[in-house]
Amino acid sequence: MGVSLSASQALRLWQQVNLAEVHDDAPDLSERQMAILLTIYLDPPPHTVRGLAAKLGVTKPVITRALDTMGSHKLVSRHRDEADRRNVLVKRTVDGALYVERLGDVIIAKAAELPL
Amino acid sequence: MGVSLSASQALRLWQQVNLAEVHDDAPDLSERQMAILLTIYLDPPPHTVRGLAAKLGVTKPVITRALDTMGSHKLVSRHRDEADRRNVLVKRTVDGALYVERLGDVIIAKAAELPL
DNA sequence: CTTGAATGATACGGTTCCGAAACAAGCGTT
DNA sequence: AACGCTTGTTTCGGAACCGTATCATTCAAG
Contacts of B21 (CB under 8 A, 6+ apart): A31, A35, B28, B103, B106
Q: Give chain A's radius of gyration (CA, Å).
A: 16
pLDDT at residue A116, rounded to an integer: 83
**Cα atoms found within 13 Å of the Cα of residue B3, Cβ hemisphere only:** 25
Report residue A28's pLDDT band, with 50, 70 and 90 as the boundaries.
confident
The model's pLDDT over B14-40, given as tens digits with 9 standing for 90+, comes to 999 999 999 988 888 999 999 999 999
Nearest-by-Cβ selection for A111 from B2, B22, B34: B2
Q: What is the pLDDT of residues B57-116, one digit of tens each?
A: 999 999 999 999 999 999 999 999 999 999 999 999 999 999 999 999 999 999 999 998
- Check if residue A68 sits with its Cβ under 7 angstroms from strand D: yes
Q: How many CA atoms lie within 13 A of B27 on its CB side?
A: 19
In the structure, how far is the CA atom of residue B59 from the C1' atom of nucleotide D24, in angstroms? 44
Q: What is the pTM of this model?
A: 0.92
Among B6, B13, B18, B41, the strongest candidate for a mutation testing the A interface, having the largest count of A CBs within 10 A, is B18
Spell out the residues 6+ positions from residue B40 whose beta carbon is closer than 8 angstroms to its own.
B47, B52, B76, B90, B91, B92, B96
